[in-house]
Amino acid sequence: MSETGKIREIRGSLAVVDVDKGPACISCTNVECKTKGRAITAENVLALPLKKGQKVQIGVSGAGLFRQSFSALLPPILGFMGGYLFTRIVFPAAGEKTAAFVGALLLFAVSVVFYRIKKRTSAAGGYVVIRIIR
């Protein structure tokens, strides 16, 4: 995902970029841009000569994308495995279907909890300035 916007402020190697509202904003969970008026903090890893008011393109770094994917997929999978194993160990007479059902319930519960947590926390740290738009 990449977006374009104007630099509002520069703090060392970080640039606060005001981005335009796009169609992806409807389902986005980035609290940082919603609370700061669609401003995203991006790191200038390429050491570009940035100035206040410049139009730039920003995107999610590879490490940021990995972190987001990992945090979205791992907790529900662990929830399912935990629910399944808990049922098989604590209730050995319960069958496979019961264990899978409890695992699915925990998968859903963990997904909802982590969605709510991510909705309330900032996604800062994963954005980088890709290029200056002239």
Q: Which amino acid is at 42?
A: A
Is residue 121 over pLDDT 70? no
pLDDT score for 40: 81
Residue 25 clears pLDDT 80, i.e. is over it:
no
Average pLDDT over residues 101-118: 89
Could you read off the pLDDT of 42-95 as tens digits, one per residue?
889 898 999 999 999 888 877 777 877 787 888 899 999 999 999 999 999 999
- pLDDT for res 89: 94
Q: What is the mean pLDDT of residues 32-38?
A: 62
pTM assigned to the model: 0.57
* CB-CB contact of 53 with 114 (8 Å): no
Calculate ∠ Cα 33-37-39, nearest 5°. Answer: 50
Averaged pLDDT, 95-124: 84
The pairs formed by 111-120 with CB atoms below 8 angstroms and a separation of 24 or more are 111/75, 111/76, 111/79, 114/71, 114/72, 114/75, 114/76, 115/29, 118/29, 118/71, 118/72, 119/29, 119/31, 120/31
Instruction: Write down all domains in the chain, each with its CATH number in brackets.
Output: 2-61+122-133 (2.40.50), 65-119 (no CATH)
Taking a C-beta distance cutoff of 8 angstroms, is the pair 128, 50 a contact? Answer: no
Helix (H, G, I), strand (E, B) or coil at 56: strand
